[in-house]
Amino acid sequence: MSEISANTWWLQMTAPPLHQEAAILPEGCLVMQAVKPTRSFYLFLYTSVGRPYQWYNRLMIPAGELDRLLQDEKTTVWVLYVNGVPAGFAEFDATITGETEMVYFGLTCDFTGKGLGMPFLKWCIHKAWEQPLSRLWLHTCNLDHPAALHMYRKAGFVIYDQDTLMQQKPDPEDDPYLLLPW
């Protein structure tokens, strides 16, 4: 496997946004929790959102490990639907008491650029702060959508660390996406 360089930023909120607006989604949008989602549904969401941004991590862990993660009560998956069609998802990890990591957040290609990212992000932020938290955090990198860092900062996240990491990239002939049934 080859590696590529990724400029990574870690961002956090240590309190809900001061002027937190009600999490209003555009007409036709609905967010539902995928309670203990099946691995196949989760991977459908993950690949639909992440393939353009080289999201491979969840594809490269053993199936049983991913199943355990998805069944863990500290993992929550929220799915954005637009007129009944899955348009994006967010995954939260609340393993550390008082903290929530937004592990993944994004929209599918069909719904990117349609004004849904910020309303969905605000909805997710509002949902996370419904729990007693001292910190909501995430990371993004230059391989993610070009607007991701700006959007997170605009929503109230503050950079607390940055780094350049080497990320594994599967060889084209060994691309895990080629093994998927869709």
How many domains in the chain?
Answer: 1
Residue 165 counted as domain residue: yes
Residues 104-117: pLDDT tens digits? Answer: 999 999 999 999 99
When mean pLDDT is compared across 26-40, 70-84, 114-128, 162-176, the lowest value belongs to 162-176
Strand 135-141 and strand 2-13: the pairing is antiparallel
Domain span at residue 148? 2-173
Q: Is the dihedral of CA 111, 113, 115, 117 positive or negative?
A: positive
Residues 61-78: pLDDT tens digits? Answer: 899 999 999 999 999 999
CATH number where 164 lies: 3.40.630.30
Residue 180 counted as domain residue: no
Residue 44, pLDDT above cutoff 70: yes
Three-state SS for 90?
Answer: strand
Residues 11-25: pLDDT tens digits? Answer: 999 999 877 666 789
End-to-end CA distance of the chain: 23
Mean pLDDT of 82-109: 97
The closest of 146, 72, 148 to 104, measured between CA atoms, is 148
Residue 178 counted as domain residue: no
Mean pLDDT of 153-171: 86
The closest of 11, 59, 21 to 168, measured between CA atoms, is 59
Residue 182 counted as domain residue: no
Residue 179 counted as domain residue: no
Q: How many angstroms separate the CA atoms of 26 and 90, rounded?
A: 17
The closest of 130, 122, 131, 133 to 157, measured between CA atoms, is 122
Residues 107-160: pLDDT tens digits? Answer: 999 999 999 999 999 999 999 999 999 999 999 999 899 999 999 999 999 999
Residue 32 counted as domain residue: yes
43 — phi, psi (to 5°)? -65, -30
52 — phi, psi (to 5°)? -65, -15
Ramachandran region, residue 89 (left: φ > 0; alpha: ψ -120 to 50; beta: rest): beta
Residue 126 counted as domain residue: yes
Residue 169, pLDDT above cutoff 80: no
Residue 181 counted as domain residue: no
Q: How many angstroms separate the CA atoms of 71 and 35, rounded?
A: 8
Q: Is the pTM of this model over 0.85?
A: yes
Q: How many angstroms separate the CA atoms of 87 and 85, rounded?
A: 6
150: enclosing H helix or E strand? helix 148-154
The tokens of 131 are what? 């729990």
